[in-house]
Amino acid sequence: MKFSKYITLGLLVVLAFTKIQAQEDDPVLLYSPASQNLVKFNRFLINPTFSTVREDKSYINLLHRNQSVQFKDNDQTYFLSYSGRIGDKSGLGLSLYTQKIGPVSNIGVLANYAYGVKLSDKSNFTFGGNLAYYSTGLDRNSIDVIDNEDFRINGTEDSNVLSFQPGFNISYGKFDFGVFAENLFDYNLKTSESLTDFSNKTYSSHLQYTHSFKNDSGIMESARLMPLARVRMNGQNRFASDTEGEQDIALGGSLILDLPKLGWLQGGYDSFYGASAGAGFNINRRLSLGYTMEKGLATDFDNLGVTHEISFAYSFTPNLTEDRVMLEDDYEDNLADNENSETSSLATNEEIDELKRKLAENDAIIEELMFRQDSLENSRQKDLERRFNMVMSMVRNETQGQRPDLEKRAENLFLNGQNRPALANTNSSNAGFVPNGTKTQARPTTVQDKTRNQITVAQSKTSTASRNVKSRKFKNLEGVKDGFYIVANVYKGGKYMDKFMNDLNERGFNSDYIDNPENGLKYVYLKRFDTWQEALDAHKSGVNGTYTDNLWIMNVDNRYTNEAYANNVDKIKGKSAKYADDILQTNVIVKDRVASNELEAKTYKIEGIGSGFYIIANVFANPKNANRFVRLLNSYGLSAGYFINPDNNWRYVYLKKHESWNNALISYYTNLNDSYNEKMWIMRVAPGRMA
């Protein structure tokens, strides 16, 4: 009995050892996709950081690679993937895939994640990884066997493998350098062993350059040229092996010309797989179809036929900033333009319209004050001229016209070294002022000068026709000769302005333009005159009947001084102080045809905020973004803050608070003494309420 027990135990050990050896002989196809041609979609297979590095779209992609088509049991790969950025600094990828070489196949799922951090103003560091789980083994349906009971086939089992593939990328300017460990950790869950020894691991590194074209239109709009050089070690290892092989080094490179308006062109070379060329077409704004052909050159692939890759993608653009990592953590999504693209932070259309109406009301009040400024300036000049003539008349009466030296001395004493006063015309003097409610179009097309205060000319009170002539006065246009210009159109520049001027010149006009650096507009004029009457006659006659479209007169008067402006500001304060805020608003509603007739001030209960007039720079729904925007403004030397509207929980970021409407207008009109040139508007907060 005791001897029989030993025999039984020995048989069990032998059988167990035999079973382990059989399991170790199970075929395993390693996860090792040929990624050298994936320069448009599925780029995270080249390096896991490429799901966010130089990536500006998200997409769903179906890829099929049919390698060496003349070989019967060739290598075939299918990928169904999603890849894209999930934030300004992170990217995500997810793939379902299957690979097959002869009777051995694997099928699995792969997840990708990448995250970037800023190193300096020109560089950032991105790290990421691919995590794959797949099942691999013998596909019995692909085997023609004589004996279906062959234990060598029936005894095989599938293996479940977990693989982790980390990588990193360093970006500096337009250059990218990275390293990728393609199977650093590959663990067979059935045998509890690693599939490859450390010496057989696959590594790759890349160096990439990105050149962005500056074209704003045509097929080259937003185009990119991206060459990439790559070195790969042990990339040919497809099956698990315990033996230590030679270190195989493969050199390669690729180039892609990405044309978002049309498609893309690509080419490449790999010392193992051969040369490749491909093209893709954007069927519409979202659908893309691509094809790549590869041919072996110096390896056995040369005798096995060409390789085909077909790609079908559905793309969509995420609402993210273009400069994904270059912002500090404290300033992520801090700008209003970025926030406006996030639906979670958007105000409703009705509330935006209300803000626009308030902004239009503020602009109209400023227009009215500017009109009063012109009237005050005109009255001052008239009074100064009258007193000057009276003094000079008294001197001439006393000297009987015999002492011109005394007359000259009296004139110098009266003027105190300034030029002799001349009667100012009543054209508007707020040259270059564009109300904050308007927005200059970015398209290179004809634009209207959106200054609203185009006041009817009253140069001659007895002339009815001159009151219907539109005119504007411009001060301190450096390099522009004083005079009256017949303006035909206003542009922001570009080919449309050149075409318009060429058409005028072909019609016999000697056209030119005046560049106003204050608002960035270019005023195309037909002719210049020294006097108002000459310009008025030319305007009325359509330049002697040669021009039938709309014209207006531009008065360039560079004699306006800063001292005169300061005097006008003081007079605005004194004059406008006679009017209460409600009176001004009532007048504006009556006069301003742009403002809505249904404009009614909404009031909200506000606690813990002082009354006054606030210069508002932006509005946020996200508290985090409001705090970051305030910190950004304060880093520029401003003293910004914000208050909360309890009705909608918006944060109103303000630059300055004034106790009077007049002081708020001065800050608005002077851009806070030229310290802030972005959009802003004025909000009045009454005691305990916001209006």
| pLDDT digit string, tens, across residues 562-603 | 444 444 445 444 544 444 444 333 333 333 333 333 333 334
Q: Identify the pLDDT of residue 131.
A: 95
Q: Identify the pLDDT of residue 319.
A: 46
Instruction: Compare 667 and 40 and report the one with higher pLDDT.
Output: 40
Q: Both 612 and 545 in a single domain? A: no
Q: Both 340 and 315 in a single domain? A: no
Which residue carries 């990217």 as its tokens? 91
> Distance (Å, rounded) from C-alpha 625 to C-alpha 397?
74
Q: Both 364 and 306 in a single domain? A: no
> Distance (Å, rounded) from C-alpha 49 to C-alpha 45?
9
> Which whole number is the average pLDDT over 302-327?
72
pLDDT grade, residue 313 (50/70/90)? very high
Query: At residue 151, does pLDDT exceed 70?
Result: no
The CA distances from residue 684 to 115, 351, 414, 612, 687, in Å, are: 44, 17, 44, 6, 10
Query: At residue 139, does pLDDT exceed 60?
Result: yes
- Look at residue 388 and tell me if it is in a domain: no
Token readout for 426 is 């009543």
Q: Both 364 and 322 in a single domain? A: no
Of 117, 190, 133, 191, nearest to 165 by C-alpha is 133
* 2-11, 268-277, 599-608: least confident range: 2-11
Instruction: Compare 638 and 476 and report the one with higher pLDDT.
Output: 638
- Look at residue 274 and tell me if it is in a domain: yes
Of 555, 556, 540, 546, nearest to 526 by C-alpha is 546
- Look at residue 588 and tell me if it is in a domain: no
Secondary element (H or E) of residue 503: helix 495-506
The one-character DSSP state at 496 is H
Q: Identify the pLDDT of residue 268.
A: 94
The CA distances from residue 664 to 569, 617, 669, 672, in Å, are: 12, 13, 9, 9
Q: Identify the pLDDT of residue 563.
A: 45
> Distance (Å, rounded) from C-alpha 532 to C-alpha 625?
53
Q: Both 205 and 275 in a single domain? A: yes
Q: Both 557 and 600 in a single domain? A: no
Of 89, 8, 675, 37, nearest to 326 by C-alpha is 89
Q: Both 234 and 281 in a single domain? A: yes
Residue type at 26?
A: D
Q: Identify the pLDDT of residue 474.
A: 82
> Distance (Å, rounded) from C-alpha 422 to C-alpha 512?
29
- Look at residue 406 and tell me if it is in a domain: no
Most confident of 80-84, 184-188, 243-247, 420-424: 80-84
Within a 10 A sphere around the Cβ of 552, how many other Cβ atoms?
20
Q: Identify the pLDDT of residue 115.
A: 94
Q: Identify the pLDDT of residue 353.
A: 73
> Which whole number is the average pLDDT over 146-166?
74
pTM, 2 dp: 0.47
* 195-204, 509-518, 576-585: least confident range: 576-585
Of 383, 388, 470, nearest to 426 by C-alpha is 470
> Distance (Å, rounded) from C-alpha 586 to C-alpha 579?
11
Most confident of 85-99, 467-481, 583-597: 85-99
> Distance (Å, rounded) from C-alpha 598 to C-alpha 222?
43
Q: Identify the pLDDT of residue 466.
A: 47
* Of the residues 541, 564, 587, the one at which a domain ends: 564
Q: Identify the pLDDT of residue 367.
A: 72
Which letter, b or e, does each residue of 336-363 get, where b requires 16 or more Cβ atoms within 10 Å of its Cβ?
Answer: bebbeeeeebebeeebeebbebbbbbbb
Q: Both 282 and 357 in a single domain? A: no
Q: What percent of the chain has pLDDT over 70?
A: 69
Q: Among positive and negative, which fits the CA dihedral 381, 383, 384, 386? A: positive
Query: At residue 20, does pLDDT exceed 60?
Result: no
Query: Which residues on neighbouring strands pair with residue 254, listed in sequence order?
Result: 228, 268
Instruction: Compare 142 and 11 and report the one with higher pLDDT.
Output: 142
- Look at residue 493 and tell me if it is in a domain: yes
> SS3 of 685, please?
strand
Q: Identify the pLDDT of residue 229.
A: 95
> Distance (Å, rounded) from C-alpha 113 to C-alpha 89?
11
The CA distances from residue 99 to 279, 291, 419, 519, 532, in Å, are: 24, 19, 90, 61, 84
- Region of 334 please: left (phi>0), alpha (psi -120 to 50) or beta: alpha
Of 60, 109, 62, 110, nearest to 84 by C-alpha is 60
Q: What is the DSSP string of 254-286?
A: EEEEEETTTEEEEEEEETTTEEEEEEEEESSSS
Q: Identify the pLDDT of residue 168.
A: 96
Within a 10 A sphere around the Cβ of 478, how many other Cβ atoms?
7
Query: At residue 665, does pLDDT exceed 70?
Result: yes
Q: Identify the pLDDT of residue 147.
A: 56
pLDDT grade, residue 416 (50/70/90)? low
- Per DSSP bridges, beta strands 552-556 and 159-172 are unpaired
Q: How many residues does the chain have?
A: 691
Q: Identify the pLDDT of residue 588.
A: 33
Of 74, 47, 256, 340, nearest to 165 by C-alpha is 47
Token readout for 229 is 């050089």
> Which whole number is the average pLDDT over 29-40?
87
- Look at residue 9 and tell me if it is in a domain: no
Q: Identify the pLDDT of residue 484.
A: 92
Query: At residue 198, does pLDDT exceed 60?
Result: yes
Query: At residue 555, does pLDDT exceed 70?
Result: yes
Number of folded domains in the chain?
3
Q: What percent of the chain has pLDDT over 90?
A: 22
Q: Check if the beta carbon of residue 410 is closer than 8 Å to that of residue 392.
A: yes
pLDDT grade, residue 239 (50/70/90)? low
Domain assignment of residue 424, given as a range = 352-381+414-564
Q: What is the DSSP string of 497-543?
A: HHHHHHHHHHTT---EEEEETTTTEEEEEEEEESSHHHHHHHHHTHH
> Distance (Å, rounded) from C-alpha 9 to C-alpha 235?
45
Query: At residue 162, does pLDDT exceed 90?
Result: yes
Q: Both 461 and 484 in a single domain? A: yes
Q: Identify the pLDDT of residue 102.
A: 80
Q: Both 148 and 236 in a single domain? A: yes
Q: Both 85 and 122 in a single domain? A: yes
CATH code for the domain in which residue 154 is found: 2.40.160.40
Q: Identify the pLDDT of residue 348.
A: 65
> Which whole number is the average pLDDT over 195-220?
86
Within a 10 A sphere around the Cβ of 298, how many other Cβ atoms?
9
Residue 104's Cβ-count burial label (10 Å; 0-12, 13-18, 19+) is: buried
- Look at residue 403 and tell me if it is in a domain: no
Q: Both 138 and 172 in a single domain? A: yes
> Distance (Å, rounded) from C-alpha 256 to C-alpha 223?
10
331-385 per-position pLDDT tens digit:
444 444 444 444 444 556 667 877 877 787 777 777 767 776 776 777 777 777 7
> Distance (Å, rounded) from C-alpha 156 to C-alpha 137?
8
Within a 10 A sphere around the Cβ of 482, how many other Cβ atoms?
13
Query: At residue 451, does pLDDT exceed 70?
Result: no
Query: What's the whole-number average pLDDT of the chain?
Result: 74
- Look at residue 405 and tell me if it is in a domain: no
Q: Identify the pLDDT of residue 287.
A: 93
